[in-house]
Chain A
């Protein structure tokens, strides 16, 4: 099936589907691919990375090391984290040469 609505609507629809009773689920969960575009996968995180803008020099090592690819470069050349997908692994905080990233419990 081809989805024609907005990503936000699609996300709501998929999330509702994944909470459905067993009779309502798509057979064997065979669905369209790339559903993570619509389905957030960051909800098992315990700690989230918080960047200290004063310390950050924009070296982008965190962007290099992030295994999820959820650190993105902002328009001003700095970095930010897409918390919808960040699993809270803390690799960015560990690799940051200036200790500009702290892992904060949510």
Chain B
């Protein structure tokens, strides 16, 4: 049996890597992720975790070291945030394109300038086309559970792709929450020790070339193959989360609804703001508004069918993004959703709000105002709004 503990969310991430019995952790500290790798470093130093902890000189090296270790079959974990993820950018593609099942925690942080260590999603959204599976967690329990499940997803022979588990810098990482910590036996039942079955393992006796040159005559086909692998991983993700529920009793859906029964409008967002949004939905429901919330847990591969199903009865979808596609058309989730509905039979009205940039609070009242402005038809023709002083 597991036990109930109080844990800082960053340590929940470290505990998940520990209980997954990782072989290698290669990481570089960066706020607000530091507590994760600091804790893992302590676990290794004090003998609680039998793993190689590699102190590297940068995030570029952190992920490169994980790639090397993963190539010989090691179960690898790293964590980063903000600028660290940006420095990894080049290697993100190498890890995914060469199909290394690495798991990374990302404590989402605003990218500079100006120097800002607080939470928004500009780091991962600026790297969203890197071909990784991208999952968003809300709280300590989800962070622990989804990281644990991420190893099983990544290492599945049908997937063999790295997984990034995202959660809010500070709002999540530095908060102490209640969490159910499963027993070793339960974890082993769900996630057996790492035994990579794939033929693609570096071995001096059976040498292989990873990352060979891809001439124009072949690169496109390889990219298409990678895209297919990422899209197909959705079925495995759903399957692994169902197995997770069987063992631990907690259910995870790629898109999770809250008070969606009879809802005519709904918020849709990712990450920790879901908690605040639930309170706003409760308050609006008390006033008689038919509103709900959808929390998108899986961002890549984009769960289009599940979103269409979840939003089937809605008249209005209010998208809350914590990143601006600078010079583009609003936020990234807004863009994806507008594309999803364009040309479909759905007559849903999709409006976007960009909020919470650089760690700005998104308060319950902010969600209530977003709903009221949308319902009153105050959204400009381009359909998206910045919740910023001088406009909001």
Interface residues in chain A, defined as those with a beta carbon under 8 Å from any beta carbon in chain B? 18-23, 25, 27-33, 35
* Chain A residues whose C-beta falls within 8 Å of the C-beta of B228 in the assembled complex: 22
Judging by beta carbons under 8 Å apart, are A33 and B208 in contact? yes
* Chain A residues whose C-beta falls within 8 Å of the C-beta of B210 in the assembled complex: 28, 30
Q: Which of B147-181 contact A (CB under 8 A)?
A: 160
CA distance A29 to B99 in the complex (A): 11
Closest A residue by C-beta to B98: A28
Judging by beta carbons under 8 Å apart, are A22 and B222 in contact? yes
CA distance A18 to B219 in the complex (A): 10
Judging by beta carbons under 8 Å apart, are A29 and B218 in contact? yes
CA distance A31 to B220 in the complex (A): 18
Interface residues in chain B, defined as those with a beta carbon under 8 Å from any beta carbon in chain A? 97-99, 160, 200, 207-210, 212, 214, 217-218, 220-222, 224-226, 228
CA distance A21 to B220 in the complex (A): 10
Judging by beta carbons under 8 Å apart, are B209 and A27 in contact? no
Q: List 14 A-B contacts (CB under 8 A).
A: A18-B218, A20-B221, A21-B221, A22-B225, A23-B225, A25-B218, A25-B225, A27-B160, A28-B97, A29-B218, A31-B208, A31-B209, A33-B207, A33-B208
Given that A18-B217, A21-B221 are known contacts, is A29 also in contact with B212, CB under 8 Å in the complex? yes
Quote the shortest CB–CB distance from B155 to chain A (angstroms).
Answer: 15
* Chain A residues whose C-beta falls within 8 Å of the C-beta of B224 in the assembled complex: 22
* Chain B residues whose C-beta falls within 8 Å of the C-beta of A20 in the assembled complex: 221
CA distance A25 to B222 in the complex (A): 8
Judging by beta carbons under 8 Å apart, are A27 and B207 in contact? no
* Chain B residues whose C-beta falls within 8 Å of the C-beta of A31 in the assembled complex: 208-209, 212
* Chain B residues whose C-beta falls within 8 Å of the C-beta of A18 in the assembled complex: 217-218
* Chain A residues whose C-beta falls within 8 Å of the C-beta of B217 in the assembled complex: 18-19
Given that A25-B218, A28-B99 are known contacts, is A35 also in contact with B225, CB under 8 Å in the complex? no
10 cross-chain pairs, A with B, having the tightest CB-CB distances, nearest first = A22-B221, A22-B224, A33-B209, A33-B207, A30-B200, A22-B225, A28-B98, A28-B99, A29-B212, A25-B221
Count of chain A to chain B residue pairs whose CB atoms are closer than 8 Å in the complex:
50
* Chain A residues whose C-beta falls within 8 Å of the C-beta of B208 in the assembled complex: 30-33
CA distance A35 to B306 in the complex (A): 44
* Chain A residues whose C-beta falls within 8 Å of the C-beta of B98 in the assembled complex: 28, 30
CA distance A32 to B209 in the complex (A): 6
Judging by beta carbons under 8 Å apart, are A28 and B225 in contact? yes
* Chain A residues whose C-beta falls within 8 Å of the C-beta of B218 in the assembled complex: 18, 25, 29
CA distance A31 to B226 in the complex (A): 16
CA distance A31 to B207 in the complex (A): 9
* Chain A residues whose C-beta falls within 8 Å of the C-beta of B209 in the assembled complex: 30-33, 35
CA distance A28 to B217 in the complex (A): 14
Closest A residue by C-beta to B160: A27
Judging by beta carbons under 8 Å apart, are B97 and A32 in contact? no
Closest A residue by C-beta to B217: A18
Closest A residue by C-beta to B97: A28
Judging by beta carbons under 8 Å apart, are A28 and B221 in contact? no
CA distance A29 to B220 in the complex (A): 12
* Chain B residues whose C-beta falls within 8 Å of the C-beta of A30 in the assembled complex: 98-99, 200, 208-210, 212
Quote the shortest CB–CB distance from A72 to chain B (angstroms).
Answer: 24
Closest A residue by C-beta to B212: A29
CA distance A18 to B212 in the complex (A): 12
Quote the shortest CB–CB distance from A96 to chain B (angstroms).
Answer: 30
Judging by beta carbons under 8 Å apart, are B221 and A27 in contact? no
* Chain B residues whose C-beta falls within 8 Å of the C-beta of A27 in the assembled complex: 99, 160, 200, 225
Quote the shortest CB–CB distance from A57 to chain B (angstroms).
Answer: 37
Closest A residue by C-beta to B226: A28
Q: Which of B210, B214, B221, B226 has the most CB of A within 10 A?
A: B221
Quote the shortest CB–CB distance from A65 to chain B (angstroms).
Answer: 24
Quote the shortest CB–CB distance from A30 to chain B (angstroms).
Answer: 5
Quote the shortest CB–CB distance from A80 to chain B (angstroms).
Answer: 27
Quote the shortest CB–CB distance from A75 to chain B (angstroms).
Answer: 33
